[in-house]
Each structure stands twice: as structure tokens, then as C-alpha cells.
């Protein structure tokens, strides 16, 4: 899984979405993330098809929405997602949230069946806390590839990072720029000025330093390129320690159906 991906949340104008995906791929990104609830899978597929990049070089992930987690709905809606994306399979399929129709054994059993059919290469979860992960790992005999969660310097998720390391599970960071809040963090601004880069690049480089994959959203070509340049930024130990020392717990995404552990 490429360490820097391209997020498409709230990128729901079909033409803009397809163009931004094409731009991202032709800039160098090889990891595209979408979801059923984003209502843009068809546009994402159009962007992949339009890019001068072979499909087999693209790591493509989507997510099953919380209304669709009963086993029969997992299968039917995933098949529909593949049709919209215009692909035979996805590299990673996530449970979007452990909520509503989610049942660990039944839902993840359907995910495993899709993998056995070759429609899904890897199984992931999203917005899972440790106790959700324990049951998911049990249901899949330890085979949970990734947990996609909100992570950034203002929400450092130390417990989940430690859990992922202990259980050999990848962590994928959504909202890695804290929905733009990283531009107003003095520590990040100081580090950005030191290196002559943007605060966005600093946040993405810090996540990479921590072993996380990040999937920043961007629509403009300038932001797509700026985020991509974070791969060339090497933070020193002082930079990392300064970011580690930020004392904040500022979650940007907290819907009413979020796990009770967040209440």
C-alpha cells in the first residue's frame, strides 16, 4: 500500500472528482481512496480510466457504508461499487464504521467471502477502537490489513498507533491536515518555515515518520502537488519531538453514529 494516498471525501462534483483523480495519478500518486457514501465511485473510476497509468499500478480502496453491513448487503453493494468504479476488484475494502448494521462475525464473514471470490484483495476496517479491533481480529483469524482513522498532529491517536504496531495492522490516516487546522498550529508553522515547506507537508511527513499512510484530500492541482512534495521532506528528531509534544485532542469528524467509546 503506497504510503501517500489521495482522498476523495466531499469531492462529489463528478467532473472535478474525475479530473482531480486523474491529476493525482499523473502527479505520481498510486493510492486512491473512496467510499460508497461519498457518492463519487463512478467519477473516481472515470479518473482512473482517464489517467495515463495502468490499473494494476493503482492501489484502490473503497468502504461499505453502515446501512449495508448485513451480509447480503455487503455482497450486493460491493458488487455495485465495483461496477461504478469500472474495475474487477479493489485492493482494499473497509467496513466504514462499526455502527448500525455491523456485526463482527456476519459482516466480516461476508467480506471474507468476497475476498475468496477475488473481488477484494485485502480486508480493512475504519473508525475502529481497540475493543472493536479485538472482535474483528477474532472474526478474521487475525487477518485485518488496515484500520483507517482520523490522525493528525492535533489528534495523535497514541493508543491506536500502539495497538496497530502490536497487532501488525496498518494505520491509514484520514483528515491528515485536520480539515485545514494544521495551518494554524504554531509548532507546525515554525517547522514549515525552517524547511521552506507548507504546514501540510509537515503534517504528512510526521505521519509518515510514525509509520502511517495518509490520504489527504485535494481538488486543485496546486494542493495535489504540494501534498505530493511531502514525500521529499525529512523531519529531524527535533521536529518530530516538537510535534509529538503538541497537547491536543481535536477530533474533526464525530458523527452521531460514532462508536460509544467516543461519547
Separation of CA 153 from chain center: 16
CA angle 169, 113, 1 (to 5 degrees): 35
Active site residue 102: no
Catalytic residue among 29, 38, 94, 174: 38
Single out the residue of 130, 92, 133, 129 nearest to residue 111, CA to CA. Answer: 92
In order of 66, 94, 250, the CA distances from 63 in angstroms are 9, 4, 24
Query: Which residue intervals of 88-220 are DSSP H helices?
Result: 104-116, 130-139, 158-167, 186-195, 199-209
| Contact yes or no for 64/36 (Cβ under 8 A) | yes
Pairing state of beta strands 31-33 and 213-214? unpaired
Question: What sign for the dihedral angle of Cα 132, 65, 171, 117?
Answer: positive
With DSSP H G I counted as helix, E B as strand and the rest as coil, what are the percentages for the chain, rounded to 5? Answer: 50, 15, 35
Burial class (CB in 10 A: 0-12, 13-18, 19+), 189: middle
SS3 6: strand
Residues with catalytic roles: 38
Amino acid at each position: 500500500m503506497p504510503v501517500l494516498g489521495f482522498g476523495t471525501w466531499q469531492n462529489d462534483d463528478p467532473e472535478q472528482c474525475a479530473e482531480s483523480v486523474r491529476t493525482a495519478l499523473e502527479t505520481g500518486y498510486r493510492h486512491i481512496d473512496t467510499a460508497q457514501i461519498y457518492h463519487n465511485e463512478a467519477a473516481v473510476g472515470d479518473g482512473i480510466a482517464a489517467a495515463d497509468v495502468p490499473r494494476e499500478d493503482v492501489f484502490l480502496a473503497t468502504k461499505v457504508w453502515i446501512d449495508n453491513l448485513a451480509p447480503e448487503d455487503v455482497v450486493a453493494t460491493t458488487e455495485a461499487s465495483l461496477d461504478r468504479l469500472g474495475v474487477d476488484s479493489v485492493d482494499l475494502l473497509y467496513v466504514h464504521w462499526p455502527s448500525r448494521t455491523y456485526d463482527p462475525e456476519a459482516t466480516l464473514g461476508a467480506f471474507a467471502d468476497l475476498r475468496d471470490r477475488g473481488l477484494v484483495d485485502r480486508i480493512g476496517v475504519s473508525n475502529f477502537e481497540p475493543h472493536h479491533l479485538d472482535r474483528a481480529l477474532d472474526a478474521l483469524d487475525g487477518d485485518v490489513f488496515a484500520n483507517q482513522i482520523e490522525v493528525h498532529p492535533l489528534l495523535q491517536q497514541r493508543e491506536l498507533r500502539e495497538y496497530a504496531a502490536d497487532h501488525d495492522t496498518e494505520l491509514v490516516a484520514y483528515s491528515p491536515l485536520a480539515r485545514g487546522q494544521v495551518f494554524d498550529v504554531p509548532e507546525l508553522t515554525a517547522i514549515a518555515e525552517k524547511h521552506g515547506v507548507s504546514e501540510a507537508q509537515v503534517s504528512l511527513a510526521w505521519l509518515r515518520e510514525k509509520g502511517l499512510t495518509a490520504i489527504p484530500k485535494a481538488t486543485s492541482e496546486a494542493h495535489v502537488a504540494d501534498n505530493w512534495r511531502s514525500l521529499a521532506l525529512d523531519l529531524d528528531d527535533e521536529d518530530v519531538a516538537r510535534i509529538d509534544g503538541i497537547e491536543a485532542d481535536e477530533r474533526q469528524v464525530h458523527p452521531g453514529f460514532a462508536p460509544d467509546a467516543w461519547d
